[in-house]
Amino acid sequence: MEKILSKNFFNPEARKIEVYLRDGGYEAARKALSEMTPESVIQEVTESSLRGLGGAGFPTGRKWGFIPKDSPKPKYLIINSDESEPGTFKDRHILEWDPHTLVEGVIIASYAIGAHQVYVYTRGEYYHYANILQEAVKEAYAKGLLGKNIFGSGFDLELIIHLGAGAYICGEETALLESLEGKRGWPRLKPPFPAISGFLGCPTVVNNTETIAYVPSIIRNGGEWFAALGTPRNGGMRLYSVSGHVKRPGVYELPLGTPLREIIYQHAGGMRSDRKLRAVIPGGSSSPVLTAAEIDVKMDFDSLAAVGSMLGSAGVIVMDEGTCLLKALTILSKFYQHESCGQCTPCREGTGWMTRILNRSLTGDGVQGDLENLLRIAGNIIGNTICPLGDAAVLPVQSFIKKFREEFESHLQHGKCLAVA
C-alpha cells in the first residue's frame, strides 16, 4: 500500500521546500487556487469521505460548507495541533517530518472557506516541532506560497503559529478558541457552533493537523480516489499511533478499515516478549476498551461505533496479560480529574470521586459496592456536561468494569492484582 503522509517520515531532507517542490509539492494548492472554485474544492473533499481525524470523525467537506458565504466578518481557519489525548502522537510526526504538506493543506482549506488568516495551535511541549513548522512557513513565505496574491490568484493568506501552555482541554475546539483569545480554556456551550461564531465571534473552522495534511493528496488525485482507499463513508488512510506492550511502537499509515489485529500483530510487530494480549484501547484514552476477543474489528469510525467503542484519534494502546487493569483505569481517571476545567459540577466532582474510589481499591482499601458506586457516579456525569470531556472520563470506567468485572472483583477481594506476576 502506497503511503501518503508517512512517505517522508524519518527523512530530514524531505522537510526542505526544494525537496518538497521537486516531488510535486504545492501543485495541488496551485491547482485549487488557479483552476478550481472554493465550492468545487469543498465538493472534492466531500466526495473523498475525509472525516475529522482529531477524534470526532465529522465529515470535513460538510464542516467547511457550514461557513456562511455572505458574512461580512473575517473567517478563520484554526489548525488543532494540541495533540494531548493519551496514546496519540501522529500530529507530532507531521510537524516534525512533513510540515510542508500541512502548509499546503492549509492553503487549500483556507481558499475553500475564504479565510485569510490561519492559526496553528500547537501544544507548548512541541516547542521544537513548532520551530520546524515555523521554518517551513518561512520558506513558504519566501517562495510566495504564503502572503499576498498566492499563485497570482489574488488570494492572500497569513499563517501564524500559536503555542499553547499545557492543558489537555484546550484540544477541545471551543476551549481552544477561548485559549486562543487569551483566556482560560473553558469550553463554550454549543450552539452557536464555531462555523457561525468561533474565534472572536467570527466564522471559524477548527480542523485537526492530520485532517488538513490529507487535503493536498485529495486535490491532486481526486476525492473518489481517496474514498476508495477506505471503507464506505470512511475515506482514505490515516495514521494509527500504536503504543504499550508491542514490539514496535510507532505511527503506521494504513487504510481506514484495517483490522485491529493486523495493526497490532503485523505492523507493530506483535506483543512484547510474546506475551498474551489482554486489552486494547483502540482510539485514544477516551475510547471504550476492547478485549483480546474483539480485535478483529475493522478500524474505521462506523465499525468501532458498531462494537460500542470509538476510532477517535486512532491511538491504539496495547496491554498484555501482566497488566493490572485497575491500575490502568486509575491512571486514566486521574488524568481526566486533573484535566477537567472545573466548569461543570458533575465533571469536576465526579472525576474526583471516581479517582478516589479507584485509588483506594488499587491500594487494597476498597469496600463492598465500590464498583456500583463507580458506575453510579459515571451515570451521573455522562450527558450532563458542557463538553465531551465528562463523557471521555466516564467511557473508560464503564467499559473496563463491564468487560473485566471479574478481574476488578478479584482485585477488590484480595486487595491486590493477581494478574501481575
Partner 1 sequence: MSLEVLSEKMLSEISEILARYPQQRAALLPILNACQREYGFISQRTEEAVAELLGIPVIEIRETISFYSLLRRKPAGKYHLQFCTNISCSLLGAEESVASACRQLGIHEGDTTQDNRFTITTVECLGACDMSPSLQVNDDYHANMTSDKVLELIDKLKDER
Ligand X SMILES: Cc1cc2nc3c(=O)[nH]c(=O)nc-3n(C[C@H](O)[C@H](O)[C@H](O)COP(=O)(O)O)c2cc1C
Question: Which residues form the interface with ligand X (CB under 6 A)?
Answer: 52-56, 58, 80, 82-85, 169, 171-173, 206-208, 211, 387-389, 392
Q: State in angstroms the smallest separation of the CB of 120 from ligand X.
A: 11
> Which three-class secondary structure state does DSSP give residue 244?
strand
Count Cβ atoms below 10 Å from residue 294 Cβ, excluding itself: 18
Which residue type does 56 have?
A
Of the ranges 36-44, 51-59, 95-103, 382-390, which one interacts with ligand SF4 (CB under 6 A)?
382-390
Closest CB to ligand X among 194 and 366? Answer: 194
Instruction: List the one residue out of 346, 365, 344 whose CA is nearest residue 354.
Output: 346
Q: Which residues contact 12 (CB under 8 A, 6 or more apart)?
A: none
**Which of ligand SF4, partner 1, ligand X, none sits in contact with 171, Cβ below 5 to 8 A by type?**
ligand X
From ligand X, partner 1, ligand SF4, none, which one binds at residue 390 (CB under 5 to 8 Å depending on kind)? ligand SF4
Query: Under rule CB under 8 A, which residues in 240-269 are in contact with partner 1?
Result: 241-245, 249-251
Count of positions (residues) in the chain: 421
Instruction: Please enumerate in sequence order all residues whose Cβ is within 8 A of that of 267, keeping only pairs 6 or more positions apart, or say none.
Output: 240, 242, 248, 252, 254
Per DSSP bridges, beta strands 237-244 and 147-150 are: unpaired
Instruction: Please state, in angstroms and rounded to a whole number, the distance separating the CA atoms of residues 252 and 172.
Output: 25
Alpha helices of 198-284 — where are they, by DSSP H?
209-213, 215-221, 223-229, 260-262
Report 345-374 residues binding ligand SF4 (CB under 6 A).
Answer: 347-348
Select from 97, 52, 56, 98 the least CA-distant residue to 79.
Answer: 52
User: Which CB sits closer to ligand SF4, 328 or 341?
Assistant: 341
Least spacing, CB of residue 372 vs ligand SF4, in Å: 23
Among 15, 51, 63, 92, binds partner 1 (CB under 8 A): 92
Q: Which amino acid is at 96?
A: E
- Helix axis angle for 127-142 and 99-113, nearest 10°, is 70
Interface region with partner 1, contact rule CB under 8 A, candidates 149-157, 239-247, 301-309, 358-366? 239-247
For position 172 contacting partner 1 by CB under 8 A, the verdict is no
| Burial call 202-238: b when 16+ CB within 10 Å, e when fewer | bbbbbbbbbbbbbbbbbbbeebeebbebbbeebbbbb
Structure letter (DSSP) for residue 124: G
Residue 411 contacts partner 1 per CB under 8 A: no
Q: Which is nearer to ligand SF4, 7 or 348 (CB)?
A: 348
334 is a site residue for ligand SF4 (CB under 6 A): no
Per CB under 8 A, does 68 bind partner 1? Answer: no
To ligand SF4, the closest distance from the beta carbon of 320 in angstroms equals 32
Question: 48, 207, 343, 398: which one contacts ligand SF4 (CB under 6 A)?
Answer: 343
Terminal CA-CA length for the chain? 40
Whole-number Å distance between alpha carbons of 164 and 129: 13
Residue 181 or residue 224: which is nearer to ligand SF4 going by CB? 181
Element (H, E) at 42: helix 38-47
If binding is defined by CB under 6 A, does position 344 make contact with ligand SF4? yes
Does 185 engage in binding with ligand SF4 (CB under 6 A)?
A: no
Q: Residue 392: name its binding partner from partner 1, ligand X, ligand SF4, none (Cβ under 5 to 8 Å by kind).
A: ligand X
- Which residues lie near ligand SF4 (CB under 6 A)? 169, 187, 340-344, 347-348, 385-387, 389-390
